[in-house]
Amino acid sequence: MAEALLSLLTWFSPAFPTGGFAYSGGLEWVVETKAVRDEATLTAWLEDSLALGALWTDAVLLRRAYRGEDVTGLAHALCASAERRLETTAQGAAFAAAAAPWGGTPPAPYPVAAGHLAATHAIGQEETLLAYLHNAVAAQISAAVRLIPLGQTAGLRVQRALEPAIRATRAQSQSLALGGASWAADIATQNHETQYTRLFRT
């Protein structure tokens, strides 16, 4: 138990070199349009991502990869934009490379690589998914703190407010049902490709 927890804390630490700080998942675009502009709108945006968007898809893909399914091609196909594909493949490749001290894992989209590595080490699927989602939400909040801008304390309030949504996504993703309806986020990642001023890669 302690060994598994230590591994998860390392793999999903902000210090683990996946390059996650360089991606906003379209958030940079919606901040520019003022659709996301404060704590409340950021919380709502991330709740939608967890329930209907990229984070929901990631949760299901991680579970399927953990179960031994070959979902790499599916993970690529589910990316709604070139930037979304860049985000998941680049982070997945970086995660796989950084995991070398744990025996490594084949390069794959980020949730697929994470699910595979956890299964290889017999680390609980539920614990792995919780750590993955917590890390993903924290990365988005970190981007928002810089973009809106939002204070650190406000960012922590958003993280706390999203804990029930993270737990709900973990529970509901046991259905393994793929499919989402977060079209605004998909469009945001597409529009970001031609955004004039950009701090983030997506």
Report pTM. Answer: 0.96
Average pLDDT over residues 25-45: 95
* Closest C-alpha among 143, 154, 134, 132 to residue 188: 143
Assess whether pLDDT exceeds 90 at residue 194: no
- Given pLDDT bands bounded at 50, 70 and 90, which one contains residue 196? confident
Kindly report the average pLDDT of the chain as a whole number: 94
The SS3 of residue 19 is coil
Q: So what's the pLDDT on residue 92?
A: 97
Domain ranges for the chain, please list them. Answer: 22-191
* CATH code that applies to domain 22-191: 1.10.4190.10
Tens digits of residue pLDDT in 150-166: 999 999 999 999 999 99
